[in-house]
C-alpha cells in the first residue's frame, strides 16, 4: 500500500464509525457483476451496506427507539425511514492543492463530527456472498446481539439481550427503488421494533412471579455491558463467540 489517498467519503450521520467490513461480490439485482461493498457501523444503533462503486446504500439495519415501537410505519419520523448516504469529498489533483484540500476536508470532518449516539453498534460479523444465505450479526452498547438476514425481515431475530419477561421484538422491512443513470438500484431498510418492558399491570399473570423474582427464576444469559466483538466459529462445534466491555466472553450454539 502506498501513501497516496485516492478516495475520501463522509458518512451522512457525521458520527464516529465504529466498525468496517468489506466484500467484493454480486448480490441479488447485481446480476453476475461483482461490486465492492463496505459494511459500516455508524449512527444511532444501525449498520449499513454500501455499494461504494456508486456510493449507494443498498441495505440498512436499524433498531428503533422503544418509544416508537407501536407507531405505524407511515407515521414514523422521516429520520427513521431515510437511508444514510456516503458523501464524496473531492480531492484536488494538484499535489499542493491536494495536500491543503485534504487537510481542510479532514479538519471540517473533525470539527463537525458528533459525539457517538447511544446506543450504537460496536461489533459486526456475518457472511456476504454471491451464493447461499447472506446475513450479518451485530452487537452494541445496548448489550443486544441481533441476527439480520439480508433477504427477508421474517428471518431476522434477536440472539441475546432480552430479559425473561420482555416481549420479543418485531422485524420489518421497507423497499426503496432508486436509479443511477440507466441502472435501477433497489435498496432495503430493515427495522427492529424493540418493545418496551411492560408495566406490572400490563403483564400476563403467568409472568408476574418472574418479574417480582418469586420462586424459581431462570438466570439471564445476556450480556450486562456493551458487546464489543463477535466471532463465528466452525470447529470443533459451530457457534458464536461474543465478548463485552466487562470482560465477559460467551459461547452461543
pLDDT digits (tens, 9 = 90+) for 174-191: 998 765 554 567 899 999
- Let me know if residue 146 belongs to a domain: yes
Q: How much is the pTM?
A: 0.83
Residue 33 lies in a domain: yes
Cell of 240: 458464536
State whether the Cα torsion 140-142-143-146 is positive or negative. negative
Q: Is the dihedral of CA 130, 19, 49, 47 positive or negative?
A: positive
Let me know if residue 232 belongs to a domain.
no
CA pair distance 153, 136, nearest whole angstrom: 12
Calpha distance 47→84 (Å, rounded)? 10
Cβ neighbours for 211, distance < 8 A, ≥ 6 positions apart: 165, 200, 203
- 121-127 and 157-160 as β-strands: parallel, antiparallel, unpaired? unpaired
Domain membership flag for residue 61: yes
Residue 124 lies in a domain: yes
- pLDDT tens column, 30-48: 677 889 999 999 989 999 9
Query: pLDDT-based confidence at 22, cuts 50/70/90?
Result: very high
Largest alpha-carbon pair distance within the chain?
A: 74
Tally of domains in the chain:
1
Question: Is residue 35 assigned to a domain?
Answer: yes
The boundaries of the domain holding residue 21 are 9-213
**H helix or E strand, kind and range, residue 111:** helix 95-112
Classified as helix, coil or strand, 36 is strand
| Residue 228, in any domain of the structure | no
Q: Is the pLDDT of residue 59 over 70?
A: yes
Is residue 116, in this structure, part of any structural domain at all? yes
**Which pLDDT band, with edges at 50, 70 and 90, does 60 fall under?**
very high
Confidence of residue 173 (pLDDT cuts 50, 70, 90): very high
Amino acid at each position: 500500500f502506498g501513501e497516496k489517498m485516492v478516495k475520501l467519503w463522509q458518512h451522512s450521520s457525521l458520527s464516529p464509525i465504529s466498525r468496517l467490513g468489506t466484500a467484493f461480490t454480486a448480490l441479488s439485482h447485481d446480476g453476475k457483476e461483482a461490486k465492492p461493498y463496505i459494511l459500516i457501523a455508524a449512527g444511532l444503533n444501525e449498520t449499513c451496506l454500501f455499494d461504494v462503486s456508486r456510493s449507494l446504500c443498498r441495505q440498512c439495519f436499524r433498531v428503533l427507539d422503544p418509544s416508537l415501537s407501536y407507531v405505524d410505519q407511515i407515521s414514523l419520523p422521516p429520520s427513521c425511514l431515510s437511508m444514510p448516504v456516503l458523501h464524496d469529498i473531492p480531492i484536488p489533483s494538484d499535489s499542493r492543492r491536494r495536500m491543503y484540500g485534504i487537510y481542510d476536508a479532514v479538519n471540517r470532518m473533525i470539527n463537525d463530527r458528533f459525539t457517538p449516539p447511544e446506543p450504537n453498534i460496536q461489533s459486526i460479523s456475518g457472511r456476504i456472498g454471491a451464493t447461499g444465505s447472506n446475513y450479518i450479526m451485530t452487537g452494541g452498547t445496548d448489550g443486544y446481539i441481533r441476527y439480520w438476514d439480508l433477504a427477508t425481515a421474517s428471518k431476522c431475530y434477536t440472539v441475546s439481550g432480552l430479559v425473561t419477561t420482555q416481549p420479543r421484538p418485531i422485524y420489518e422491512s421497507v423497499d426503496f427503488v432508486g436509479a443511477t443513470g440507466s441502472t435501477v438500484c433497489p435498496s432495503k431498510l430493515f427495522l427492529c421494533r424493540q418493545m418496551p418492558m411492560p408495566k406490572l399491570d400490563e403483564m400476563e399473570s403467568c409472568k408476574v412471579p418472574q418479574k417480582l423474582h418469586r420462586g424459581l427464576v431462570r438466570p439471564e444469559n445476556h450480556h450486562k455491558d456493551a458487546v464489543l466483538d463477535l466471532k463465528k466459529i466452525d470447529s470443533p462445534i459451530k457457534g458464536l463467540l461474543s465478548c463485552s466491555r466487562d470482560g465477559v466472553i460467551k459461547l452461543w450454539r
